[in-house]
Structure 1
Amino acid sequence: MIWKRAVTLEALNSMGEGNMVSLLDIRFERISEDALEASMPVDSRTHQPFGLLHGGASVVLAETLGSVAGYLCTDGEQQVVGVEVNANHLRSVRSGRVRGVCRALHTGKRHQVWQIDIFDEQNKLCCSSRLTTAII
């Protein structure tokens, strides 16, 4: 198990109250030994003007997952901040919910690298993102 902090899905979901996470209805749904998963709706909150999932919304989901996963891999008073994020948008989505799966590529003492893959309801890869975080 890579997580250093004990946490429940309920606690993770309460962290999003009153910020962008709740505004976009991002919900943490699964914690496994080496992955964190969350979902987000594809609706008027996350559409771009042409009715497709906005790439920026996908990046919000990716950075949310990577930052929270990064925090779970720290202890004590340590905090995690994103320093670089990129995303390759591979398939459009018009409706439903997308699911992000976050896994560690590197969890060092000063920085971390996270791979976040986002899938549609047919389990087709829609976006592949990478987030680098710094531990402060």
Structure 2
Amino acid sequence: MTSLSETMTNNPYTDSLIRAGVPEQYHSRFARNGLGGLAEKLGIVFETMGPDLMVAKFPVEGNEQPFGLLHGGAHLVLAETLGSVASGLAGGEGKQPMGVDINATHQRAASSGWVTGTCTPIHVGRTLCIHEVVMTDDAGRRLSTARITNLLVDRR
């Protein structure tokens, strides 16, 4: 069994996980691939991380589409990151989430500030997890609502 300090020493992603706000007890879960390059490029930072509640934010600046508004795909990246991480934590050490469906409805545009995503489970089973992710602006106004479904498969 590898201790937490050994995992952190051997984990090439430790610095990026710390910058992203990932609690130390979860670092071993991300030792293979980190959070993924896209989450880091968007600037996603976790505020709460657990299988029952996941909250993260990212800046609008740098993530706009050509007309100066937050890119709709950025909403989906945040939703998929939150839903997949929550599914992976719910599934346990031997399971890996595989996204099978994601959809979003955009309610409002954003052109500045931060977007916060709050991810809550709709269904968590042995092989299937469904999460809702609500994204809001700095004023707490809903920007979009997403639903993501992950299949839990044995980790390879």
Pairwise TM-score range, normalised by the shorter structure: 0.7 to 0.9
Larger relative contact order (CA 8 Å, sep ≥ 6) = 1
19, 29, 43: which is aligned to 1:25?
43
Deviations, residues 34-58 of structure 1 (Å, cap 9, x unaligned):
31100011012x1011000110000
Q: Structure 2: where are the runs of 5+ without partners?
A: 1-20
1:106 pairs with 2:123: yes
Residue 53 of structure 1 aligns to a residue in which SS?
Answer: coil
More strand as a share of residues: 1
* Match of residue 9 from structure 1: 22
The residue that corresponds to 1:5 in the other structure is none
Corresponding position: 1:37 with 2:50: no
Structure 1 ranges of 4+ moved more than 2 A:
8-16, 31-34
Structure 1 length-normalised TM: 0.86
Matches of 2:50 and 2:91 in 1, distance apart? 17
Higher percent of residues as helix: 2
Once the two structures are TM-superposed, the CA of residue 81 in structure 1 deviates from its matched residue by 1.0
Determine which of 109, 124, 130 is the counterpart of 2:141.
Answer: 124
1:82 aligns with 2:104: no
Identical columns (%): 37
Q: How many equivalent pairs are there?
A: 127
Is the counterpart of residue 92 in structure 1 residue 109 in structure 2? yes
Instruction: Please tell me the residue identity of whatever aligns with 1:128.
Output: T
Q: CA RMSD in A?
A: 1.9
